[in-house]
A and B are shown apart, each in its own frame.
Chain A
Amino acid sequence: MSDVGEKRTPLYDEHVKLGAKIIPFGGWLMPVQYSSIMEEHEAVRNSLGVFDISHMGELLASGPRASEWLNTMLTNDIAKLEVGSGQYTLLLDENAGIIDDLIAYQIENEKFLLVVNASRIEVDFAWLQSHLDDGVQLENQSERYAGLAIQGPRVGELFRALFGPSPKMPERNQIARFELDGMKLWVARTGYTGEEGIEVFFAAEDAPKVWNEVLEKGESLGIRPCGLGSRDTLRLEMCYPLNGSDLSPEHNPLEAGLGFFVDLTKPKFSGRQKLREEKEAGLSRRLIAFRMKGKGPPPRPHYRAFRNGSDAGEVTSGTLSPSLHYGIGMAYLTTPTPKPGEEIEIEIRGQKFPAVIEKKPLYKKP
């Protein structure tokens, strides 16, 4: 495995100590699994898992005009935020192609934290920098921050074990500052698994200490360190899109099914005009969720999808669902508008296998 040019998070040595299998991902050397993707997946669904998300980027936008400016850069309405809250939003180019999907948190009156995808840090920063307004400062703080996602039904118990009985865990999409042994942490009630969970951001140099304390305090709760493998199966069961697979500058948020996070009534943001035209003309393709029928190989990215025997699009995500025990995936299908229940086929190594379009999410908590 070549380490050249691939970055390590401040937890790299901890992953190696735990016997993780390391793979390159978005320019980083990351753990894909420690023991088994299936077991790590189950741990998050049934008790608790912790993921190193230090590779993700942290951009800070501040200043008296930060809110107004961000509202012209991002698709969601940032004016709906108040201090201590966050929202899922998208950064688009002029053609409404997706540069990145991210969470924007308002952490002070005139200060916003943008948590962006690892492989897009430089691209996002360069784009935002080139569109910067007077009265706004933009900083790339990605190197200074480490982060953990702690996900699973027992997260409340772990939160109390870490921070004591009195502080309240933030509500969904809220973010607040907490202290752990003198270390300062941002704790957000967000995640990428469909389970209750928090994402925690803190100084890079504190990373091994926070990581080990989380594992220690979580031990009696059944916590497992989890890699990118289970992160992918968990998010795909929920139909959360993955940047670089389901989202790219070739796709716009409406066809990706993310219209809820795009406020077309805002007077101005990058890609707005193009999206209004698309909406007027009707979308030419849509990201759908499907499951395989019967036994067969699991779907994978780049397999072709067929409707009535004709090529109708490309699978962008696919796996065997550890919770559902059948193959699941997402694919962009061309018009006519695909509907849940419609039977399609996925071509795998030259052979077509039956599948059916499903409502999102594919997995619902029992």
Chain B
Amino acid sequence: MNVPDDLLYTASHEWVRREDNKIRVGITDHAQAELTDVIYVELPKTGTSYDAGSTIAVVESVKAASDIYAPAKGTVLEVNESLETNPALINTDPYGEGWIYVLEVENSDQLHELKDAAAYRASLS
């Protein structure tokens, strides 16, 4: 299972890439493999604020709808609109083209609670 070293991870299988005071978020290779066949992504609205741990997006596979949680409190700056026409990007390129949204984080201290790659890898085994 691909777990890039330069990313942070949540217990609910989101990955987080730090970009200054912003974070780019998607779901991990492990998560997409568990879901398989992503068929619909409900994206957050840009400009909307979310609390840490609140549902910010929904990823749907054939079998089930899975909530995606905000890893920190913040405001959505960007969403990946290509997922509206091609949700399978989450399966084919979870850490690249399959990103879901960019969040401007209010307090980056909240990111300290995230796992690094080694800890996330350990949680999968």
Q: Is A26 interfacial (CB-CB < 8 Å)?
A: no
A298 to B64 Cα, complex, angstroms: 9
Check A295/B84 contact, CB under 8 A, given A21-B34, A320-B40, A349-B42. Answer: yes
Smallest distance from the beta carbon of A242 to chain B beta carbons, Å?
A: 13
Q: Chain A contacts of B64 at CB under 8 A? A: 300
Given A229-B63, A297-B58, A297-B60, the answer on whether A36 and B40 have CB atoms closer than 8 Å is no
* CA distance in complex: A296, B43 (Å): 12
Residues of chain B within 8 A (CB-CB) of A174 are none
Nearest-Cβ distance from residue A321 to partner chain B, whole angstroms:
9
30 of the cross-chain contacts (CB-CB < 8 Å) are A21-B34, A21-B36, A32-B63, A36-B36, A36-B37, A37-B36, A37-B37, A37-B61, A37-B62, A37-B63, A38-B37, A38-B62, A229-B62, A232-B63, A233-B62, A296-B40, A297-B40, A297-B42, A297-B58, A297-B60, A297-B65, A298-B39, A298-B40, A298-B60, A298-B62, A300-B64, A320-B39, A320-B40, A320-B62, A322-B62
Q: Please name all residues of chain B whose beta carbon is closer than 8 Å to the beta carbon of A296 when the two chains form the complex.
A: 40
What are the residues of chain A within 8 A of B62 when measuring CB–CB?
37-38, 229, 233, 298, 319-320, 322
Interface residues on A, range: 10 to 19
A92 to B94, CA, bound (A): 48
Instruction: Name the CB-closest residue of A to B61.
Output: A37
Besides A295-B84, A300-B65, 16 more A-B contacts (Cβ < 8 Å) are A21-B34, A21-B36, A32-B63, A33-B36, A36-B36, A37-B61, A37-B62, A37-B63, A38-B62, A233-B62, A296-B40, A297-B42, A298-B60, A298-B62, A320-B62, A322-B62
B42 to chain A, nearest CB (A): 6
Closest A-chain residue to B67, C-beta based?
A: A349
Q: How far is the CB of A347 from chain B (nearest CB, A)?
A: 14
- Give the chain A neighbours of B36 by CB distance below 8 A: 21, 33, 35-37
* A276 vs chain B, min Cβ distance (A): 40
- Residues from chain A with a CB closer than 8 A to the CB of B60 are 297-298, 320
Most buried by B among A38, A233, A295: A38
Interface residues of B, CB < 8 Å — how many?
Answer: 14
The residue in chain A whose Cβ has the minimal distance to the Cβ of B91 is A36
B24-52 near A? 1/0 per residue, CB < 8 Å: 00000000001011011010000000000
Instruction: Give residues 250-306 of A contacting B (CB, 8 Å).
Output: 295-298, 300
A-B contact count (CB 8 A): 40
* Chain B contact residues, CB within 8 Å of chain A: 34, 36-37, 39-40, 42, 58, 60-65, 84
Shortest distance in angstroms between B81's beta carbon and chain A's nearest beta carbon? 13
Write the nearest CB–CB distance from B13 to chain A, whole angstroms.
Answer: 15
Residues of B within 8 A of A297 (CB): 40, 42, 58, 60, 65
Contacts of B65 in A (CB 8 A): 297, 300
Q: Taking the nearest CB of chain A, how far is it from the CB of B74, in angstroms?
A: 21
B residues within 8 A CB of A322?
62
Smallest beta-carbon distance B100→chain A, Å: 15
CA distance A32 to B34 in the complex (A): 11
Q: Closest residue of chain B to A320, judged by CB?
A: B39
Inter-chain contacts of B84 with A (CB < 8 A): 295
A38-B88 Cα distance, complex, nearest whole Å: 12
Q: In the complex, which residues of chain A have a beta carbon less than 8 angstroms from the beta carbon of B58?
A: 297, 349
Give chain B residues whose Cβ lies under 8 Å from the Cβ of A320. Answer: 39-40, 60, 62
The smallest C-beta distance from A271 to any residue of chain B, in angstroms, reads: 33
Smallest CB separation, A51 vs chain B (Å): 16
Q: Smallest Cβ distance from B26 to chain A, in angstroms?
A: 19
When distances are taken between beta carbons in the complex, the residues of chain B under 8 Å from A232 are: 63
Sorted nearest first, the 8 A-B pairs with minimum C-beta distance are A37-B62, A320-B39, A38-B37, A297-B40, A36-B36, A229-B63, A36-B37, A37-B37
Within 8 A of B (CB), among A231-245: 232-233
What 0/1 readout, one digit per residue, does chain A (118-134) give for beta carbons within 8 Å of chain B?
00000000000000000
Distance from B76 Cβ to chain A, minimum over Cβ atoms (Å): 17
Contacts of B39 in A (CB 8 A): 298, 320
